[in-house]
Amino acid sequence: MDQLCPNCTTTITVNFCDNCGQKRFKRIDRKYLWNELQYTVFHANKGLLYTIKKLIVNPGKTARSFIDGNRVNHYKPILLVFLLSGVSTFISFKILNFQQILTAYFEAKKLSSGFTTKYMSFMSSYSTLIMLVLIPLFAVTTKLAYRKWGHNFYEHIVMNAYVVSFYTLFNILIVYPILFIFKNASPVLLFDISQYSILAVPLILFWFFKEFYAGKDIGSIVGRTFLIVLYTILGYIFIILFVGLMAFLSALVFGPEAVSFLRQMK
């Protein structure tokens, strides 16, 4: 039976308004709430589990499928990063007690200070936000490396959301179980194991873009993977130099007050 759209008054002949997308009116009752609950819980979980499964097996193809428009079964990539980063943070700091590992490591290396404690606390508390902020920066490096291969900057943001999600899954499924097995080992060894996982990043990038740009020359993918790593290192150095320069200029402008403030931060 046709009905007028409650939003724009267009006649609705199917389940949704052709003009504004408003869902066909149904009175809110027990059946309505049950159907909404089923859709919200099971559809979201289906999309999440489907995306994680596809991402583990074929990360590049999964991202390419989403960017090319096949999105109905996929969990949103930015939300996926947020969710997986939260899970990763919970496992590393609540189950593996990674903050204690870091503290013991810095003490063993005689690097412990008020600054390192504040730094570790900040990184653990805001790791998800930091990861989300870094995605556009990573997108700059991949866009530069693949600037002639037909995708815009915003599509590279989506690509890097998938790369970060895949790397997070790599930590959750491989690195964290290893840390759990050796949880009674020395903090130095545990910290080193966690740091060695970064060595997998170039391989992850190569695998991802080899699948994303299927049919392209492998040598070109290898060369551009090297460029991404190089751009990332240069960007990291630039950020360090920029922060150092700002601290130096602040000391020049504000004099002893800035120095005193920096000392209080340590």
20: Cβ contacts below 8 Å, ≥ 6 apart: 5, 7, 8, 10
Is the pLDDT reported for residue 125 higher than 70? Answer: no
Amino acid letter, residue 137: L
Q: Is residue 29 part of a domain?
A: no
Listed in sequence order, the DSSP H helices in 91-185 are: 98-108, 114-125, 127-145, 153-170, 176-181
Rounded to 5 degrees, φ, ψ at 14 are -125, -150
| Other beta carbons within 10 Å of 89 | 19
Split into its structural domains, the chain has a count of: 1
Q: Which tens digits make up the pLDDT trace of 76-111?
A: 888 888 889 888 888 887 888 877 777 777 777 666
Q: Is residue 151 part of a domain?
A: yes
Rounded Cα distance between 143 and 165, Å, is 18
Q: Is residue 232 part of a domain?
A: yes
- Residue 43: pLDDT band by 50, 70, 90 thresholds? low
DSSP string, 18-86: TTT-PBPP---SHHHHHHHHHIIIIIHHHHHHHHHHHHHH-HHHHHHHHHTT--TTSPPHHHHHHHHHH
Start-to-end C-alpha separation, the chain: 71
132: Cβ contacts below 8 Å, ≥ 6 apart: 78, 81, 82, 85
Give pTM, 2 decimals: 0.75
Provide the sign of the torsion angle of the four alpha carbons 114, 119, 122, 123, taken in this order: negative
Average pLDDT over residues 35-54: 70
**DSSP assignment letter at 10:** P
Q: Is residue 5 part of a domain?
A: no
pLDDT at position 13 is 76
Contact 240, 92 (CB under 8 A): no
Q: Is residue 213 part of a domain?
A: yes
pLDDT at position 142 is 95
- Residue 8: pLDDT band by 50, 70, 90 thresholds? confident
Facing residues of 12 across strands? Answer: 3
Q: Is residue 101 part of a domain?
A: yes
Q: Is residue 236 part of a domain?
A: yes
Q: Which domain holds residue 139?
A: 76-265
Q: Which two tokens stand for residue 105?
A: 């490591």
